[in-house]
Structure 1
């Protein structure tokens, strides 16, 4: 299978093929409106603004699996992202990224790259790790997505290059994107 074989529902209910993004670099992320990482909507918008003309697409999928931090519908999430954070990249319908109801796209993404151990060097990293241990210890196992704002970088040929945990540096993410455009 290829990433281009998957479909996703846009926030307005329309079905979109990942074929739409053939030849583009994609940064695909599960997001939430009430998360400690919600500020990343603005950071992602800055990346999108900077690299959209070169072929970057950021695809945001609201998810409510982590601490019920996105109770809104996909359509409400999209409106909030546009209004509150100035987001212009695509916001899709709400998905699940772990468990029996995992969206097929995320099942594919999370099994295409290795998972790295979760860092606990900073206070923010320790707090996130402890919350996961407390609420969803099984999310630390296997290829599970651990929290909101996990990002997958996909190259122009549809190959999943790497996975970034929620607290990854935006500078590291930007550097990885730049490498694909070099």
Structure 2
């Protein structure tokens, strides 16, 4: 099984097979529009602009599970991201990433990479948010902007902490693009 075996709904409600992205490097991110990490959209778009022509796709999955920081409809989220951050990467319908109603894609992603890579800043952030919202179980996504890096064959190569800055992923993305 790999990421291409999944179907998800885009933000217009249309079913999309992730096999559409076969042969590309993917960065799958659970996002929110009212979070302290929301400015990461700017860095994500910069990565997308830099590497899209080489085969990078960023897949944005809004999630309202963390203090309801992704309020509004899929249309309102699209409008916010486009107007405030000029994002051009694909956005999908709002999903749950943890718990009994977690989207199957995120259940699989967490199974493939149960632990985040994190630098000291990200670890500090995780200590703060654990006080606000304890993680239900090991492997759960800790907050908005958890990131999964997928190779061209559809396999999870790395999982990054929500506070791990997107620009820090550049080297890892380049390595996968060159394979």
TM-score range normalised by the length of the shorter chain? over 0.9
Is residue 2:177 matched to residue 1:181?
Answer: yes
Displacement of 1:177 after TM fit?
0.0
User: Structure 1: which 5+ runs fail to align?
Assistant: none
Displacement of 1:116 after TM fit?
4.1
Distance 1:36 1:21, change over 3 A: same
Distance 1:131 1:177, change over 3 A: same
**Aligned-partner Cα distance in 1 for 2:44–2:164:** 12
Displacement of 1:125 after TM fit?
4.5
* CA-atom RMSD in angstroms: 1.7
Displacement of 1:76 after TM fit?
1.5
Given that residues 59 and 89 in structure 1 are in contact (C-alpha distance below 8 angstroms), is that contact kept between their aligned partners in structure 2? Answer: yes
User: Structure 2: which 5+ runs fail to align?
Assistant: none
**What secondary structure does 1:145 align onto?**
coil
**What secondary structure does 2:64 align onto?**
coil
**Aligned-partner Cα distance in 2 for 1:58–1:136:** 28
TM-score, length-scaled by structure 1: 0.91
Displacement of 1:171 after TM fit?
3.6
Q: Deviations over 1:75-134 (max 9, x none)?
A: 211121111110000111000000000001111111102404766x44x75354222233
Q: Please name the residue that 2:163 is paired with.
A: 167
Q: Please name the residue that 1:155 is paired with.
A: 151
Q: Please name the residue that 1:26 is paired with.
A: 26
Q: Please name the residue that 2:104 is paired with.
A: 104
Matched pairs, number: 178
Given that residues 78 and 92 in structure 1 are in contact (C-alpha distance below 8 angstroms), is that contact kept between their aligned partners in structure 2? Answer: no
